[in-house]
């Protein structure tokens, strides 16, 4: 205790003396009488230079807050270092400070700098002054990843002490003649990414003259455009480079000739991704130190056995990591692989491998991770493997030929912790013991989109902390009894699981994603949802769940997606649900919920994009508060017992006015290769569409729809609704609405489907409807409409039954002619008689044909409509996806 007091007092004394001596030394700048504690005091001239350097900078994160005129010792400013002996500023490092603005050249007055790094401030702008060549003490210079531009001055050649030079900066610097580089003989680390070397025919010679260079990165330098005089370096020795990055250069294999002297037996890391290489030359296979080879995204076809063969010199004993993702490898993983005795990680995903995987692969003594996903590799269903393997990661996603038998040999890999064999054409039962044989515990298991059946006895003992399990789209059945308490993600959807869902109460806190949809789970939703404070997605759709929603739903404050549709939940919505303020998508359709549509939905759940309450027993009126949901794109209150009027404020649903679309719910999801991916979750919803129920998948996010059909709504359509000119579907059918259809309805000219049938609308069909050039489904039947059907390219093309039950209507497409006085209003085309096909122009004929031929033609009809609508492009896409979905169903 006493000791502490002593120390504190000593420090205080020290501080006082320091300040005092600083005050004394105040005016005499650059004095040499430095001693003891005030050695680091900065020079006034350099302090000024730094302040002037700061002046034009935009420091959005306040990182340079310590750089102040009243803060005298600039040696203590963030990013500044000074010499112990002289007090001169020797280091200025503001890299990654997120600065903007112009670079001031006053840093040139810091003449003793040996370390200058301005890199990674993407908005820092300006040119590099020629006089930078005067900073001859520089050993470290970083100018990369800014908005600097202009020519690299030849004065760089004066910086002969440089050991580190980072100039990478996508396409903003130019180099006229790279000769200056050869003077930097101490250089050990050089990055010039994005600087075109297309005119530097001798760059290899220059590099070879840098005897100590060990790191060289020349990505995106247009190296393929160099016509290299190959003979020049024939008698030079090999470079000392250990890490060589040549990605993104459009290199073809002819470049390997000049690459030769750059690749000595010191090379440990070689990056050749994003080129057009059709293989590897044999000399690379004789590099007895190469440990890592990147060959991703090469666009030329390579036979993988040849690739292995060329690498199989002494490189095969040293190579530890081989990555060739998204290239054009063909054929098999051949027996040659057995030579690669040091291989720890092999990633051949997203290639065109279509042969078989050699048994030798599994015998590699050091192999830990294997990714051969997205190929067509054949794997025998039985292998005779030793169980000594270290393999702990296998990704064989979308290897369609893995099945149809379950790959039982996987059970040989006792150390496995991550396994993905999803979408691999497996149609089989899980082998005996599969669920209790992982002594190292799985933290990622994905068996989804196969046809695997069997019970799942235990999701607990074999799973590590924070694991993710996806068994979706299989034929698993039976109850789930035990699950791991630390699961991050559980997807059991689209199986035949049964029994209660109380098992979810075993999961605590961390869960982010839970999808149990499309199963036969039965029983109540347990009141343990306070475990799920971090849950983003809860999907229980289409099961046999029933009962009231427990109050604990309100504790899921991070929840963005809640799907409970197609169950038998009943009762009023619990008030606590209003705590779920992160909700974007709420689908409670097809249950037996009752009570009023709660006011707090509009007041509290302001982030909602999708609100589906259809097919329940909600009663009362439509609350005005719903109009506050400015993001709402899908509002479905159909098939309830709602009465009263349609609130005119629905015209305030601004997202239906703007061309913006639901972005989906983003959340982090673990993936097999340890990374966290942002997954966008836009689930499907079933929407009443053009008279049928239609399931929307990817298109759901494009849909903007209001469905209030099959209620007891009265009054007329408020004209404000017609402000929703981005709306695509409006269904008000089967209500007790009356009055005239608003004359401005034609302004909703993006509507594809409009259903006003089975109400009591009267008066004429507004002539503005003839502007609705995209309208593809219209139903006005069983109202009291009268007068002539306005003439347009499509109002005549609908089946006459869509106008049935309106005794006063006349004109095409009804067989009933209008009285003579009506004719003058919209004259039929001259010289043609009514009902004659010839009087309809070509486009209209297409509509006629389309009307009778169902959906596939609907697609082409929209293309036709494209010609008529200047915003048509957007709808082209829309229909394209619809078409696609209709096949996916």
Please give the residue ranges that form the binding site for ligand NAG (CB under 6 A).
45, 48-49, 52, 84, 106, 109, 123, 125, 133-134, 147, 154-155, 157-158, 185-186, 211-212, 222, 232, 235-236, 250, 551-552, 554-555, 576, 579, 624, 627-628, 649, 652
Rounded to a whole number of angstroms, the minimum distance from the CB of residue 49 to ligand NAG is: 4
Collect all residues with Cβ–Cβ distance below 8 Å to 681 and sequence separation of at least 6: 513, 536, 537, 561, 664, 665, 666, 667
Measured from the CB of residue 244, what is the shortest distance to ligand NAG in angstroms? 18
Least Cβ distance, residue 184 to ligand NAG (angstroms):
9
Minimum CB distance to ligand NAG, residue 662 (Å): 21
Least Å distance, CB 748 to ligand NAG, is 18
- Name the residue nearer to ligand NAG (CB basis): 236 or 801: 236
Largest CA distance in the chain: 114
Which is closer to ligand NAG, CB of 210 or CB of 514?
210
CB of 548 to ligand NAG, least distance (A): 14
Nearest approach, Cβ of residue 638 and ligand NAG (Å): 22
**Minimum distance of ligand NAG from residue 701's CB (angstroms):** 25
The nearer residue to ligand NAG, 249 or 757, going by C-beta atoms, is 249
Q: How far is the CB of 163 from ligand NAG (least distance, A)?
A: 8
Q: CB of residue 109 vs ligand NAG: minimum separation in angstroms?
A: 4
Q: Which is nearer to ligand NAG, 59 or 155 (CB)?
A: 155
Residue nearest to ligand NAG (CB): 554
3-state secondary structure of 473: coil
Q: Which residue has the tokens 């396409």?
A: 171
Check: CB of residue 537 under 8 Å from CB of residue 515: yes
Nearer to ligand NAG (CB atom), residue 158 or residue 417 = 158
CB atoms within 10 A of CB 678: 9
Q: Is 189 helix (H, G, I), strand (E, B) or coil?
A: strand
Three-state secondary-structure class, residue 462: coil
Rounded to a whole number of angstroms, the minimum distance from the CB of residue 578 to ligand NAG is 7
Sign of CA dihedral 843, 849, 853, 854: positive
Q: Rounded to the nearest 5 degrees, what angle is found at the Cα of 394, between the Cα atoms of 389 and 399?
A: 130
| Between 66 and 134, CB nearer to ligand NAG | 134
Nearer to ligand NAG, 75 or 284 (CB): 75
Complex with ligand NAG: residue 71 or 236, whichever CB lies closer: 236
Angle value at C-alpha 805, between 804 and 810, nearest 5 degrees? 65
Nearest distance in Å: CB 153, ligand NAG? 8
Q: CB of 554: closest distance to ligand NAG in angstroms?
A: 3
SS (H, E, C) 282-342: HHHHHCCCCCEEECCCCCCEEEHHHHHHHHCCCHHHHCCEEECCCCEEEEEECHHHHHCCC
Q: For the chain, state the CA radius of gyration.
A: 36
Smallest separation, CB 1 to ligand NAG (Å) = 31
Phi-psi region of 343 (alpha: psi -120 to 50; beta: other; left: phi over 0): beta
User: What is the closest distance, in whole angstroms, from the C-beta atom of residue 167 to ligand NAG in the complex?
Assistant: 17
Tokens 């959906």 belong to: 855
C-alpha to C-alpha distance for 815 and 792, rounded to whole angstroms: 17
Q: Residue 220: which residues within 8 A CB-CB, separation 6 or more?
A: 170, 171, 193, 194, 247, 248, 249
Q: Which is nearer to ligand NAG, 403 or 554 (CB)?
A: 554
For ligand NAG, the closer CB: 84 or 496: 84
Q: Taking the complex as a whole, how short is the minimal distance between the CB of residue 515 and ligand NAG, in angstroms?
A: 23
**Residue closer to ligand NAG (CB basis): 90 or 806:** 90
Q: Which is nearer to ligand NAG, 602 or 664 (CB)?
A: 602
| Strands 99-102 vs 57-59: parallel, antiparallel or unpaired | antiparallel
Smallest distance from ligand NAG to CB 72, Å:
16
Q: Which is nearer to ligand NAG, 154 or 691 (CB)?
A: 154
- CB of residue 610 to ligand NAG, shortest distance in Å: 20
Residues 6+ apart with CB under 8 A from 530: 552, 555
Residues 6+ apart with CB under 8 A from 395: 349, 370, 371, 372, 373, 418, 419, 420, 672, 673
Question: Closest Cα to residue 367, out of 405, 408, 319, 325?
Answer: 319
Residue whose C-alpha is closest to residue 802's, from 812, 787, 792, 817: 812
| Distance from C-alpha of 488 to C-alpha of 472, rounded to nearest angstrom | 16
Q: Which is nearer to ligand NAG, 530 or 848 (CB)?
A: 530
Q: Give 760-800 as a DSSP string.
A: EEEEPPPGGGGG-TT--EEE--SSEEEEEPPP-TTTTTS-G
Is the dihedral angle over the CA atoms 108, 109, 113, 116 positive or is it negative? negative
Q: Between the CA of residue 498 and those of 105, 493, 511, 770, what are the distances in Å?
A: 72, 12, 21, 53
d(CA 652, CA 650): 5
Q: Is 801 left (phi over 0), alpha (psi -120 to 50) or beta?
A: alpha
CB atoms within 10 A of CB 400: 14
Q: Closest Cα partner for 11 from 3, 35, 87, 25?
A: 3
Closer by beta carbon to ligand NAG, 223 or else 588: 223
Output 106 or 671, the one with its CB closest to ligand NAG: 106
Alpha helices, H only, 643-790: none
CB-CB neighbours of 872 under 10 Å: 17
CB count in 10 Å sphere of residue 257: 11
∠ CA 232-238-240 to the nearest 5 degrees?
Answer: 135
Handedness of CA 790, 796, 800, 801 (dihedral sign): negative
Instruction: Specify the residue, 430 or 604, whose C-beta has the smaller distance to ligand NAG.
Output: 604
Q: List residues bridging with 498 in a β-sheet.
A: 520
User: CB-wise, 149 or 883, nearer to ligand NAG?
Assistant: 149
């Amino acid at each position: 205790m006493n000791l502490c007091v002593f120390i504190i007092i000593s420090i205080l004394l020290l501080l006082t003396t320091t300040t005092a001596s600083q005050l004394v030394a105040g005016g005499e700048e650059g004095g040499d009488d430095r001693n003891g504690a005030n050695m680091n005091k900065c020079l006034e001239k350099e302090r000024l230079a730094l302040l002037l350097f700061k002046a034009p900078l935009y420091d959005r994160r306040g990182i340079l807050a310590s750089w102040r005129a009243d803060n005298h010792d600039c040696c203590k400013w963030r990013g500044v270092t000074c010499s112990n002996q002289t007090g001169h500023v020797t280091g200025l490092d503001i890299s990654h400070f997120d600065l903007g603005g112009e670079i001031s050249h006053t840093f040139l007055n810091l003449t003793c700098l040996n370390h200058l790094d301005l890199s990674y401030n993407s908005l820092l702008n300006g040119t590099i002054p020629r006089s930078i060549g005067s900073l001859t003490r520089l050993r470290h210079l970083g100018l990369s990843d800014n908005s600097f531009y202009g020519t690299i001055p030849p004065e760089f050649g004066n910086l002969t002490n440089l050991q580190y030079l980072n100039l990478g900066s996508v396409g903003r610097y130019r180099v006229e003649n790279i000769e200056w580089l050869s003077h930097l003989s101490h250089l050990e680390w050089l990055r010039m990414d994005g600087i075109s070397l297309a005119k530097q025919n001798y760059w290899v010679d220059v590099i070879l003259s840098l005897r100590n260079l060990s790191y060289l990165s020349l990505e995106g330098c247009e190296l393929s455009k160099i016509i290299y005089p190959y003979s020049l370096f024939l008698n030079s020795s090999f470079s000392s480079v250990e890490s060589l990055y040549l990605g993104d250069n459009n290199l073809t294999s002819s470049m390997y000739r000049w690459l030769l002297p750059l690749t000595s037996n010191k090379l440990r890391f070689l990056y050749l991704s994003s080129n057009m290489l059709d293989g590897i030359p044999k000399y690379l296979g004789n590099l007895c130190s190469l440990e890592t080879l990147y060959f991703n995204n090469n666009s030329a076809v390579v036979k993988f056995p040849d690739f292995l063969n060329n690498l199989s010199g002494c490189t095969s004993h040293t190579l530890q990591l081989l990555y060739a993702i998204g290239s054009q490898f063909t054929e098999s993983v051949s027996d040659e692989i057995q030579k690669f005795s040091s291989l720890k990680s092999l990633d051949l995903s997203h290639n065109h491998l279509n042969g078989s995987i050699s048994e030798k692969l599994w015998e590699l003594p050091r192999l830990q991770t294997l990714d051969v996903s997205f190929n067509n590799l054949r794997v025998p269903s039985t292998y005779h493997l030793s169980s000594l393997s270290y393999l702990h990661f296998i990704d064989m996603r979308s290897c369609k030929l893995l099945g149809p038998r379950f790959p039982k040999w996987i059970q040989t890999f006792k150390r496995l912790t991550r396994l993905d064999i999803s979408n691999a054409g497996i149609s089989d039962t899980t082998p005996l013991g599969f669920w209790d044989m992982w002594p190292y515990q799985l933290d990622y298991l994905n068996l989804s989109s196969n046809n695997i059946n069997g019970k799942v006895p235990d999701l607990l003992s074999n799973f590590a902390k924070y694991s993710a399990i996806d068994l979706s789209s299989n034929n698993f059945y039976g109850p789930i009894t035990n699950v791991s308490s630390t699961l991050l993600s559980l997807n059991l959807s689209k199986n035949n699981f049964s029994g209660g869902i109380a098992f979810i109460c075993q999961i605590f806190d961390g869960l982010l994603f839970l999808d149990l949809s499309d199963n036969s789970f039965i029983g109540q939703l347990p009141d343990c949802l306070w475990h799920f404070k971090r849950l983003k997605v809860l999907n229980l759709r289409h099961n046999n769940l029933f009962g009231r929603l427990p109050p604990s739903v309100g504790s899921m404050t991070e929840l963005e997606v809640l799907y409970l549709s197609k169950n038998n939940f009943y009762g009023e919505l619990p008030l606590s649900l209003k705590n779920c303020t992160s909700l974007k998508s709420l689908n409670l359709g097809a249950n037996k919920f009752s009570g009023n549509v709660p006011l707090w939905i509009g007041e509290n759940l302001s982030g909602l994009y999708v609100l589906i309450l259809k097919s329940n027993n909600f009663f009362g009126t439509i609350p005005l508060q719903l109009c506050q949901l400015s993001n709402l794109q899908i509002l479905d209150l159909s098939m309830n017992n709602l009465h009263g009027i349609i609130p005119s404020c629905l015209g305030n649903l601004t997202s239906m006015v703007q061309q913006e679309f639901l972005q989906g719910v983003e959340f982090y999801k673990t993936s097999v290769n340890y990374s966290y991916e942002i997954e966008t979750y836009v689930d499907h919803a079933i929407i009443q569409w053009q008279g049928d129920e239609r399931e929307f998948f990817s298109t759901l996010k494009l849909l903007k729809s209001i469905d209030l059909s099959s209620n007891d709504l009265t009054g007329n359509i408020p004209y404000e609704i017609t402000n929703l000119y981005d709306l695509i579907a409006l269904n008000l059918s089967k209500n007790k609405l009356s009055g005239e259809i608003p004359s401005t309805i034609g302004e909703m000219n993006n509507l594809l489907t409009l259903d006003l049938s089975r109400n009591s609308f009267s008066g004429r069909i507004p002539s503005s409807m003839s502007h609705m050039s995209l309208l593809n489904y219209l139903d006005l039947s069983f109202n009291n409409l009268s007068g002539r059907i306005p003439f347009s390219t499509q109002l005549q093309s609908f089946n006459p039954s869509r106008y049935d039950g309106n005794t006063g209507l006349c004109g095409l497409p009804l067989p009933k002619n209008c009285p003579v006085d009506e004719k003058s209003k919209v004259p039929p085309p001259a010289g043609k008689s009514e009902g004659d096909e010839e009087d309809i122009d070509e486009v209209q004929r297409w509509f006629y044909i389309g009307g009778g031929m169902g959906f596939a033609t609907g697609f082409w009809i929209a293309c036709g409509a494209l010609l008529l609508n200047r915003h048509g492009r957007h709808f082209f896409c829309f229909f394209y996806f619809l078409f696609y979905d209709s096949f996916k169903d």
